[in-house]
Chain A
Amino acid sequence: MPSINKPIATHPSLQKNELGLTIRDYEGGMSTLCAGCGHDSITAAIVRALWELSITPHMVAKLSGIGCSSKTPAYFVNGAHGFNSAHGRMPPIATGANAANHDLIYVGISGDGDSLSIGLGHMCHAIRRNVRMVYVIENNGVYGLTKGQFSASADVGSKSKKGEANNMAPIDPVMLGLSIGATFVARSFSGDKEQLVPILKAAVAHRGFAIVDVISPCVTFNDHSGSTKSYLYTRQHELKATETDFVAPASEILAHIGQNGAVNVAMHDGSVIRFKGVPRDYDPTNREKVVAYLEEHQGNGEVVTGLLYVDEKAPNIHEMNDTCDVPLTRVPFEKLCPGAETLARLQEDYR
């Protein structure tokens, strides 16, 4: 865990990934979040997912806005390029970065204040553009750094630490994403690394924008009785809609297929998301069915988790643009500048 100091030397028995790196090589600086913060668990899941995928650390761009969640890119993959930007503005910055260089793996970390209030519009448009990135919302229903105000994801009736009830309807990033054409939608729980790690791995493999909404209780301001984003409430109300395995490109699919039937979704890079268990009539590639399922169960107060929806066919931002294969940052200047002769010629149209 990145929230404790560790010795610089690593134990020789530590397992290595395909790049010969240990999980320690994917860790970051010491967390300055509160002890027990759900965000630190998510950080740990990200570290594990990227390590297991053998991602080259310096080919990761980790970005965030402002808030408790947005501090966390400093706590994972020290060898990555980081960008802690401005409140709510991470999606456009990630969009521009991705436009310029599509060779990197983009991991955006946001929170419910960052994504569902000040940056709501930006997130929606990044979804529409299908920017290839992992977009984690560390969702705790509360503003931590400013000490306990409700966020836009707070449920109706959920009580603040001071006992005040929220009356306004929440913005649910999962339903929102599905309504505006999101191509990868997942919800998880910071307390469930088993579920979260494969979802994150699948999100990295996804060809477009992957929303991963993670319920991440705030131990200081929103973990009391009456809160619908507490550890206890989430554990009591969680409904795991799907169970997924992420199968890397070269691997053989060996795992046992659950009795609820399995759905395999082939990713563009050759990897496979294997849905081991999905409810009857649930199809993670059918938007209408997913929405109907969510409406039914969330209406009952259940917190539906799992990799809920995948559309691996929709083109991403570069496919829509028909951008050249080389990242724009590496197109030589000679190809970009039409030159003096062309300039002389084209000016005949301005005579």
Chain B
Amino acid sequence: MRTRVNDFAIKLANVNGTGSASANGLLMQAIFRMGIPVSGKNLFPSNIQGLPTWYEIRVNHKGYTARALDYDLMVAMNSQTYGKDIREVREGGYLLYDSTWPLDPALMQVRDDVNFLGVPFAQLCNESFREPRERILMKNIAYAGTLVAILNVDIDVVTALLDQKYAAKKALRESNHRALRLGYDYAKDHFECPLPFHLETMDANSDKILIDGNTATALGCVYAGATVAAWYPITPSTGALDAFKMFCEEYRHDKETGKKNYMIIQAEDELAAIGMVIGASWMGARAFTSTAGPGISLMNELLGLAYYAEIPAVVIDVQRVGPSTGMPTRTQQGDVMECAYASHGDTKHICLYPANPNEAFHFAPKAFDLAERFQTPVFLLTDLDIGMNDWVVPRLTWDDSYQPDRGRVLNAEDLAKIPKFQRFTNEDENYIAARTLPGVDPKGSFFTRGSGHNKYGGYTETPDEYREVMDRLLLKHKAAAKFAPEPVIIRRPDPQFGVITLGGCDLAVREALDLLAERGVVADFMRVRAFPFHDDVEAFLAEHDFCFVVEQNRDAQLRSLLTLETGVAKEKLRSILKYGGFPLSATHVINGILGSLGVPDPQAQELAPTAAGAEQQMEE
């Protein structure tokens, strides 16, 4: 095998609940600190302990860090899944296993093209540690030590990370160092280190951070000035509220009194969570909830109320696999349609689709600005992959001149100038009528209702009066397009078609288009970042003979939304759909596009020899 530096993928097969996550995270962080573009994807079960779980690390000096499907090295630490794991190793690749117990010879025959590296991790740990739990936990650090040796991870970086992590826990620190050396020394003594594919220090990460999307989103909410958060625990969004709480405890206690200038309410269910957000927003606070698809289903009722009564609300939807309970620990973009039209009757909402944690951070204040400006619910749709995995993204920046856009809110002074306040009259060029906040001024009092109302806010059952309000709401929604984030468009000379995508598909699609361009299949790229659609979206659709729409759901929801909400002809949009629950890979996109174009492509095969089969295996 020829030498490959900073361009490979490894997969770690573990048992859930055995402490592997900290070892895997340690490796990921060490590679990040070595300045190498890297991604880590946790493919975990909906389980606390005992079921198989996988972690994938991809390094790529060019910055292509979407999920890889072909693994140069399988770290097979779960004997229950040996059979499956071994099939996913790339031809000529390696499999690292615990040789305390012999590997089934039949397994080795399945893949005579794979190199087997055995390290007696259990035996080494049993000899070195006394406590049963410690023996299990330290096995993880021991395999990390072996990987440090065979992949040429900078051991100084790793030891520094351990020192930092266990700065206050001496015993644990020493155990970790000892375990690391066990695996490291064994590898150095028994294998030729490093392997042909390995790491070399780079300098690609000096302006980057390693952060998950839930944390970044929560931080964005803190910076946006959110004071009320109401939520109901649900995977994969729980981390967002955990992080919000953590940041508030750090930055939101009043300096003089020590009291909280926020309130986090763990609601009895999602119906209540959105109700609390609506109540707080009605009062004028910046309030949000964080949930996943099942939560949005429950919130539908009150989302319609917020839409119709024109009350701001920010809803973070960390999408997971539906329908129903679906697969709570798997990723999908399955809530695109649900969020766009949530609730009964005619409703349309503003939706933002960040691609990564950095964008999620920046879209959070944007979501509050839009919600208050347009007096309506705004969805921030991330997904499990963005929300729960650590991503290498540009450092977050903040402009201290930012002031929240509170929208059209009349204060006592404004009210004094008008003869009478009537809630839904006197709209501006964006069809937004000014609102008042309770308790501010007697003149601003009005009656908020979800029942039929006329433009004065009064109860009505009269068709024309009802319609007048509903028609303005439609225009208001359209007007939001120019205030929402515009699409990201990357053009190439003489494109044959366009490729449209959204959210976390970004990296995989861009990588795919680069690789396709190298072999003469040239396409323009557009990542939609918001609904209602910006004019640029319509223009992009118009300027291409046809476009592929790449998304992670079965029913081509973005494609549906585009055909419903733009003038594009349905036939112009071809779908590439990946919805089994694992993050998208460039290979999926390349195969999808070439397959649809009818291009026989031997190179695609070469690009990923075992990829398609592997994914099928995993997803079935």
User: What's the least CB distance linking B426 to chain A, in Å?
Assistant: 19
Q: Which residues of A contact B209 (CB under 8 A)?
A: 347, 350-351
Q: Please determine whether B447 and A74 come into contact, CB atoms closer than 8 angstroms.
A: yes
Q: Which of B215, B283, B437 has the most chain A CB atoms inside 10 A of its CB?
A: B283
User: What's the least CB distance linking A51 to chain B, in Å?
Assistant: 16
User: What's the least CB distance linking B435 to chain A, in Å?
Assistant: 11
Q: Is A191 an interface residue (CB 8 A)?
A: no
A129 to B274 alpha-carbon distance, docked (Å):
17
A37 to B397 alpha-carbon distance, docked (Å):
61
User: What's the least CB distance linking B29 to chain A, in Å?
Assistant: 9
Q: Which residues of A contact B316 (CB under 8 A)?
A: none
Q: Please determine whether B398 and A97 come into contact, CB atoms closer than 8 angstroms.
A: no
A336 to B228 alpha-carbon distance, docked (Å):
12
User: What's the least CB distance linking A334 to chain B, in Å?
Assistant: 9
**When the two chains form the complex, which single residue of A74, A323, A340 contacts B260, counting CB atoms closer than 8 Å?**
A323
Q: Please determine whether A125 and B267 come into contact, CB atoms closer than 8 angstroms.
A: yes
Q: Please determine whether B305 and A336 come into contact, CB atoms closer than 8 angstroms.
A: no
Q: Is B450 an interface residue (CB 8 A)?
A: yes
Q: Is B163 an interface residue (CB 8 A)?
A: no
**When the two chains form the complex, which single residue of B228, B395, B437 contacts A96, counting CB atoms closer than 8 Å?**
B228
A268 to B267 alpha-carbon distance, docked (Å):
27
Choose, from B43-51, B185-193, B249-257, the stretch at the interface.
B249-257
Q: Is B432 an interface residue (CB 8 A)?
A: no
Q: Please determine whether B260 and A322 come into contact, CB atoms closer than 8 angstroms.
A: yes
Task: Name the prevailing secondary structure of the A interface residues.
Answer: helix
Q: Which residues of A contact B305 (CB under 8 A)?
A: 85-86
A91 to B271 alpha-carbon distance, docked (Å):
11
A56 to B439 alpha-carbon distance, docked (Å):
9
Q: Which residues of A contact B275 (CB under 8 A)?
A: 85-86, 89, 91-93, 95-96, 122
User: What's the least CB distance linking A25 to chain B, in Å?
Assistant: 10
Q: Please determine whether A99 and B261 come into contact, CB atoms closer than 8 angstroms.
A: no
A325 to B275 alpha-carbon distance, docked (Å):
24
Interface string of B402-415 (1 = CB under 8 A from A): 11100000000000
Are A329 and B284 CB-contacts (below 8 A) given A82-B446, A324-B254, A324-B259? yes
Q: Please determine whether A99 and B278 come into contact, CB atoms closer than 8 angstroms.
A: no
Using C-beta atoms within 8 Å of the partner chain, give the interface range for chain A: 35 or more
Q: Please determine whether A338 and B228 come into contact, CB atoms closer than 8 angstroms.
A: no
User: What's the least CB distance linking A297 to chain B, in Å?
Assistant: 32
A92 to B275 alpha-carbon distance, docked (Å):
5
Return the chain A residue nearest B227 by Cβ.
Answer: A328
User: What's the least CB distance linking A161 to chain B, in Å?
Assistant: 27
Are A328 and B263 CB-contacts (below 8 A) given A78-B445, A92-B271? yes
Are A347 and B279 CB-contacts (below 8 A) given A59-B439, A61-B438, A103-B439? no
Q: Please determine whether B254 and A335 come into contact, CB atoms closer than 8 angstroms.
A: yes
A342 to B210 alpha-carbon distance, docked (Å):
17
Q: Is B441 an interface residue (CB 8 A)?
A: yes
Q: Is A121 an interface residue (CB 8 A)?
A: yes
Q: Which residues of B contact A335 (CB under 8 A)?
A: 254, 261
Q: Please determine whether B276 and A343 come into contact, CB atoms closer than 8 angstroms.
A: no
Q: Please determine whether B276 and A96 come into contact, CB atoms closer than 8 angstroms.
A: yes
Q: Please determine whether B447 and A82 come into contact, CB atoms closer than 8 angstroms.
A: yes
Q: Please determine whether A325 and B265 come into contact, CB atoms closer than 8 angstroms.
A: no
Q: Please determine whether B272 and A343 come into contact, CB atoms closer than 8 angstroms.
A: no
Return the chain A residue nearest B437 by Cβ.
Answer: A329
User: What's the least CB distance linking A190 to chain B, in Å?
Assistant: 23
A85 to B274 alpha-carbon distance, docked (Å):
12
Q: Please determine whether B267 and A100 come into contact, CB atoms closer than 8 angstroms.
A: no
Q: Please determine whether A84 and B397 come into contact, CB atoms closer than 8 angstroms.
A: no
Return the chain A residue nearest B279 by Cβ.
Answer: A96
Q: Is B508 an interface residue (CB 8 A)?
A: no
A96 to B448 alpha-carbon distance, docked (Å):
15
Q: Is B615 an interface residue (CB 8 A)?
A: no
Q: Which residues of A contact B230 (CB under 8 A)?
A: 92, 96, 99
Interface string of A147-172 (1 = CB under 8 A from B): 00000000000000000000000000
Q: Please determine whether B447 and A99 come into contact, CB atoms closer than 8 angstroms.
A: no
Interface string of A319-345 (1 = CB under 8 A from B): 001111111110101011111101110
Q: Please determine whether A81 and B438 come into contact, CB atoms closer than 8 angstroms.
A: yes
Q: Please determine whether A79 and B284 come into contact, CB atoms closer than 8 angstroms.
A: no
Q: Which residues of A contact B269 (CB under 8 A)?
A: 121
Q: Is B598 an interface residue (CB 8 A)?
A: no
Return the chain A residue nearest B29 by Cβ.
Answer: A351
Q: Please determine whether A337 and B441 come into contact, CB atoms closer than 8 angstroms.
A: no
Return the chain A residue nearest B264 by Cβ.
Answer: A321
Are A92 and B398 CB-contacts (below 8 A) given A97-B282, A338-B251? no
Q: Which residues of B contact A313 (CB under 8 A)?
A: none
Are A94 and B262 CB-contacts (below 8 A) given A58-B439, A79-B445, A81-B445? no
Q: Please determine whether A343 and B396 come into contact, CB atoms closer than 8 angstroms.
A: yes
Q: Please determine whether B260 and A324 come into contact, CB atoms closer than 8 angstroms.
A: yes
Q: Please determine whether B267 and A84 come into contact, CB atoms closer than 8 angstroms.
A: no
A343 to B250 alpha-carbon distance, docked (Å):
12
A161 to B65 alpha-carbon distance, docked (Å):
70
Q: Please determine whether A97 and B445 come into contact, CB atoms closer than 8 angstroms.
A: no
Q: Which of A59, A94, A329 has the most chain B CB atoms inside 10 A of its CB?
A: A329
Q: Which residues of A contact B285 (CB under 8 A)?
A: 99-101, 328-329
Q: Please determine whether A333 and B225 come into contact, CB atoms closer than 8 angstroms.
A: yes
A56 to B287 alpha-carbon distance, docked (Å):
26
**When the two chains form the complex, which single residue of A129, A321, A329 contacts B283, counting CB atoms closer than 8 Å?**
A329
Q: Which residues of A contact B223 (CB under 8 A)?
A: 337-338, 343
Q: Is B444 an interface residue (CB 8 A)?
A: yes
User: What's the least CB distance linking B387 to chain A, in Å?
Assistant: 15
**When the two chains form the complex, which single residue of B301, B441, B448 contacts A89, counting CB atoms closer than 8 Å?**
B301
A161 to B176 alpha-carbon distance, docked (Å):
76
Q: Is A109 an interface residue (CB 8 A)?
A: no
A321 to B230 alpha-carbon distance, docked (Å):
13
**When the two chains form the complex, which single residue of A96, A101, A321 contacts B438, counting CB atoms closer than 8 Å?**
A101
A97 to B439 alpha-carbon distance, docked (Å):
11
Q: Which residues of B contact A338 (CB under 8 A)?
A: 222-223, 251
Q: Is A80 an interface residue (CB 8 A)?
A: yes
User: What's the least CB distance linking A328 to chain B, in Å?
Assistant: 4
A213 to B228 alpha-carbon distance, docked (Å):
30
A91 to B280 alpha-carbon distance, docked (Å):
12
A100 to B271 alpha-carbon distance, docked (Å):
18
Q: Is B277 an interface residue (CB 8 A)?
A: yes
User: What's the least CB distance linking A48 to chain B, in Å?
Assistant: 20
Q: Which residues of B contact A98 (CB under 8 A)?
A: 279
Are A85 and B450 CB-contacts (below 8 A) given A97-B280, A340-B397, A342-B251? yes
Q: Is B550 an interface residue (CB 8 A)?
A: no
A61 to B279 alpha-carbon distance, docked (Å):
11
A73 to B334 alpha-carbon distance, docked (Å):
40
Q: Which residues of B contact A92 (CB under 8 A)?
A: 230, 267, 271-276, 279
A61 to B228 alpha-carbon distance, docked (Å):
18
Q: Which residues of A contact B268 (CB under 8 A)?
A: 121-122, 124-125
Q: Is A57 an interface residue (CB 8 A)?
A: yes
Q: Is A104 an interface residue (CB 8 A)?
A: yes
Q: Is A83 an interface residue (CB 8 A)?
A: yes
Chain B residues 209 to 228 lying within 8 A of chain A, measured CB to CB, are 209-211, 215, 219, 222-228
A234 to B280 alpha-carbon distance, docked (Å):
39
**When the two chains form the complex, which single residue of B210, B259, B278 contacts A350, counting CB atoms closer than 8 Å?**
B210
User: What's the least CB distance linking B380 to chain A, in Å?
Assistant: 18
Q: Please determine whether A125 and B251 come into contact, CB atoms closer than 8 angstroms.
A: no
14 new A-B contacts at CB < 8 Å, known A82-B449, A85-B305, A91-B272? A78-B445, A81-B448, A95-B272, A99-B230, A99-B265, A100-B283, A101-B285, A104-B283, A125-B272, A328-B227, A331-B261, A338-B251, A346-B250, A351-B210
A-B contact pairs, 14 of them (CB 8 A): A56-B442, A61-B283, A82-B449, A83-B448, A86-B275, A99-B265, A121-B269, A323-B259, A323-B260, A328-B227, A336-B222, A342-B251, A350-B215, A351-B32
User: Nearest 7 CB-CB pairs, A to B?
Assistant: A96-B279, A92-B275, A96-B276, A100-B285, A81-B438, A97-B279, A82-B447
On B, residues with C-beta under 8 Å from A are: 32-33, 209-211, 215, 219, 222-228, 230, 250-252, 254, 257, 259-263, 265, 267-269, 271-285, 287, 301-302, 305, 395-400, 402-404, 437-442, 444-451, 459
